[in-house]
Amino acid sequence: MHPVSVVGARVALREFTPDDVDAVLKMYGDPVVVEHLSFEPRDRRQVTATLASVIEPATNDPRHEYSLAVAEGDDAIGG
């Protein structure tokens, strides 16, 4: 199923796009945010690669992986 879009009263779930790099970088690049995650803070290049690795499989049929952005309006939260 592509694209996934679930819209609520205040937030939505949607597919990631390459435009989400800045929002994801704010989270994944922050040492406090990733302190209890399985990776160290990431830089822009790493975040761009991470997004590419979740955007590409979203179009597979059948789809086996779901990585969705939490968004407020059209903007990913974190941005």
Query: Has residue 51 been placed in a domain?
Result: yes
CB-CB contact of 42 with 28 (8 Å): yes
Query: Has residue 59 been placed in a domain?
Result: yes
- Residue 76 has what pLDDT? 75
CB-CB contact of 72 with 11 (8 Å): yes
pLDDT, tens digit (0-9, with 9 covering 90-100), for 50-79? 999 999 999 999 999 999 999 987 677 765
Query: Has residue 77 been placed in a domain?
Result: no
Residues in the chain: 79
Q: What is the rounded distance in angstroms from the CA atom of residue 8 to the CA atom of residue 11?
A: 5
Greatest extent of the chain over all pairs of C-alpha atoms, in Å: 37
Query: Has residue 64 been placed in a domain?
Result: yes
- Residue 78 has what pLDDT? 65
Q: State the residue range of the domain holding 45.
A: 5-72
pLDDT, tens digit (0-9, with 9 covering 90-100), for 3-42? 999 999 889 999 999 999 999 999 999 999 999 999 999 9
Query: Has residue 78 been placed in a domain?
Result: no
- Residue 77 has what pLDDT? 79
Number of domains making up the chain: 1
